[in-house]
Copies of this chain bind each other. A is one copy, B any other.
């Protein structure tokens, strides 16, 4: 009953098998082995983008910060949601890698920017000429930190505003597969067809040991990205072990299968919580993250039952929690959680 983070899950068997298979003889280091060539082709095909540049790094923060720095000058503003991961959970990595760009925070219910909340921030930024920072780029997190999902049309509405100012657009897809599953969109529909220029394509939260891809749809930015990656200490030498993981992840749609499992577990968990008297969901549960509240008493019982998750501040007499499911969450985990909660709450 582990719902604290999808980062805590183990790695599915096909990924481990691929790692073992890759462990054979010599391979050219620094992303120059044949496996990386294959993977590049695989991702280009999957995204219907024959020219896309594809790179691998070991963390999501690296993927995001390098993607931003390659598309936004130091004096640019990165428009993002107030609670975006790049704002709240990366210890200033975007500022560090961009050499001091500013994050311009946009409001929006349930973790989502809207054209109405984005437009005024976009308008007033840079209006003071040389005295203020300039409009730099847009960054959209999908799945959001609130567990909601942008559909392609919503992404397109935001990128249209940014592109009207000539800005490049980034998607932080740490949980990209979960967003695809939730929306039914294809990789291309969710990204470049909706105006995205560069994608952080997560793998770790959805089952890999530690690999994220960066997909750059405009290959003119590729060489700068490579230099920034090396300079950031993110060019791994034995690239075969990263490429092998990502290949296994994408092969036969494993990534979508894993994400579907996580999303389904979250849906079952959310429905079960909602069925408790006095309980409520604080955000729509579109993917694998749940924010819920229930009458006081649940935490103690859940803890005793061995459930692990992050409690959240709640109103008087209530308790709240953030719960994250993963590919490895079982029905037994979900039902065990729900039973413990039901037992604690006044029936």
- Copies of this subunit: 4
Closest to A64 in B: B233
Complex contacts, A238 vs chain B, CB 8 Å: 7-8, 204, 209-210
Q: Is the CB of A232 within 8 A of B230?
A: no
Known contacts A7-B29, A238-B7; A61 and B93 CB within 8 A of each other: no
Query: Which B residues lie within 8 Å of A2 (CB)?
Result: 25-26
* A103–B87 alpha-carbon span in the complex (Å): 11
Please pick, from B101, B224, B233, the residue contacting A232 in the complex, using a CB distance under 8 A.
B233
- A315 part of interface (Cβ distance < 8 Å): no
- How near does chain B come to A178, taking the closest CB pair, in angstroms? 16
Q: Say how far A258's CB is from chain B's closest CB, in angstroms.
A: 15
Q: In the complex, what residue of chain B is closest to A2 when comparing beta carbons? A: B26
* A241 adjacent to chain B (CB < 8 Å): yes
A328 and B58 CA atoms in complex are apart in Å by 25
Do A102 and B92 form a contact, CB below 8 Å, given A59-B234, A61-B235, A210-B241? yes
- Chain A 64-101, CB within 8 Å of chain B: the 1/0 string? 11100000011100000000000011111101111111
Q: Which residue of B lies closest to A31 (CB)?
A: B130
**Which residues between 214 and 253 of chain A lie within 8 Å of chain B, taking CB atoms?**
224, 226-228, 230-238, 241-242
Interface residues on A, range: 35 or more
Q: How far is the CB of A324 from chain B (nearest CB, A)?
A: 11
A24 in the interface (beta carbon within 8 A): yes
- Kindly state whether residue A134 has any CB partner on chain B within 8 Å: yes
The answer on a CB contact under 8 Å between A210 and B58 is: yes
Are A103's CB and B102's CB within 8 A?
yes
C-alpha gap A66/B93 in the complex (Å): 14
Q: Of the candidates B58, B75, B97, B209, which one forms a contact with A91 in the assembled complex, judged by CB atoms under 8 Å apart? A: B75
With an 8 A cutoff between CB atoms, is A19 at the interface? Answer: yes
Q: Which of A9-17, A165-173, A182-190, A272-280 contacts B (4 or more CB under 8 A)?
A: A9-17
The 9 closest A-B pairs by CB, nearest first: A62-B233, A95-B100, A7-B29, A7-B237, A2-B26, A61-B233, A91-B230, A99-B99, A91-B231
